[in-house]
Amino acid sequence: MQYVAQEALVAAAGAKSALWRLGVGLIVVIAIYVAGIAALFGLLVVISGWDGAQVWLVRMADADSPTATLLVLATFIGMGIGPLVAARLLHARPLWSLFGEQARLLRHFGAAAIICALIYALAALLPVGAVPAPNLPLGLWASFLPLALVAVLIQTGAEEVLFRGYIQSQLAARVAAPLVWMIIPSAVFAALHYQPEIFGQNAWMMVGAVFVFALLAADLTAHTGTIGAAWGFHFANNCAAILVVGVEGPLSGLALYTLPQDFVLAADLGWMLAKDVGMMIIVWAVIRRVLGRGTR
């Protein structure tokens, strides 16, 4: 498969594309990510004192309240800054080259988010095997919604800049085979979503579903030449999972409704995940079809 649109991203990455630079760049990303978390903790100490900050750390581990969930999402700021610093220092890349052409980025983000939201809204009419329970009062949920949308935008943007904007393009500049620059970042992205404490015996199946999403996002980035489509898809998907119907437990604090924890531990969750993967593929196919006309 030819990915002509990705050539602009790859060209920006090609000047200094040695794999050791990417390796050091990832160390820089991790360091800035950790520094960002430390800075957030420092801010909590300033606001709440040492003991209060410790309490907030416990609440963030549970992330079952609105403010705690917002704080967890805020930890991704460092992840978003890290690739920008690494790209500039180690690869001499313009910062915007990790995103793609600005006008196309914004257009594709909006189109992908709308397409995903519409298809997911239609899918919500289908039975899911469990009835979501109210989690937050509507008024409280609405009061947090503006900040929540910004927080999810930051979280998904940080992941897209790192995995699709930085790692994918740097690998593609070094190795032409899509099997390398699509699968490696997608596999790492999926592995980081391994959460047996939440999904129990189904944790690896969830990793598999995330891996499929990451491959679809990688393809959209390569096909369109920006991270906009993948980011919009990711943003709408996470808004649905974090802000609308979440899973009882960690990261459920901003959800209007939640599914019971027993639902994601069920032995037959594989069938439900298979349907979710099928839905993601439909969304990907529609986005690719709609946006493909403008990227050739």
27-40, pLDDT tens digit by residue?
A: 999 999 999 999 99
Residue 164 near residue 100 (C-beta atoms within 8 A): no
The residue extents of the domains of the chain are 4-292
> Whose CA is closest to 217, among 261, 159, 264, 278?
159
Question: Per DSSP, which regions of the chain are E strands?
Answer: 133-134, 245-247, 257-259
More confident residue, 136 or 267: 136
Residue 250 near residue 198 (C-beta atoms within 8 A): yes
Residue 240 near residue 247 (C-beta atoms within 8 A): no
- Say if residue 15 is exposed, middle or buried (CB neighbours under 10 Å; 0-12, 13-18, 19+): exposed
CA separation (Å) from 229 to 49, 92, 244?
42, 25, 21
What pLDDT score was predicted for residue 294?
A: 46
What pLDDT score was predicted for residue 290?
A: 94
Band of pLDDT at residue 144, cut at 50, 70 and 90: very high
What pLDDT score was predicted for residue 125?
A: 78
Band of pLDDT at residue 296, cut at 50, 70 and 90: very low
CA distance 101 to 123: 32
Mean pLDDT throughout 131-137? 91
Q: Which phi and psi angles does 246 have, rounded to 5°?
A: -100, -170
Torsion angle in degrees (nearest 10) through CA of 79, 113, 139, 243: -50
Band of pLDDT at residue 12, cut at 50, 70 and 90: confident
Mean pLDDT throughout 50-65? 91
CA distance 109 to 103: 10
Band of pLDDT at residue 199, cut at 50, 70 and 90: confident
Mean pLDDT throughout 106-111? 97
Residue percentage of the chain with pLDDT more than 70? 96
What pLDDT score was predicted for residue 123?
A: 84
Total residue count of the chain as it appears in this document? 296
Q: Please report the DSSP string for 150-161 in residue order.
A: HHHHHHHHHHHI
Q: Which of 6-10, 69-73, 213-217, 262-266 has the lowest mean pLDDT?
A: 262-266
Band of pLDDT at residue 128, cut at 50, 70 and 90: low
Residue 87 near residue 98 (C-beta atoms within 8 A): yes
Q: What six digits make up the tokens of 210?
A: 């995330």
Distance from the first to the final alpha carbon of the chain: 14
What pLDDT score was predicted for residue 23?
A: 97
Residue type for position 131: V
**pLDDT, averaged across the chain:** 92
Q: Which phi and psi angles does 58 have, rounded to 5°?
A: -65, -40
Band of pLDDT at residue 293, cut at 50, 70 and 90: low
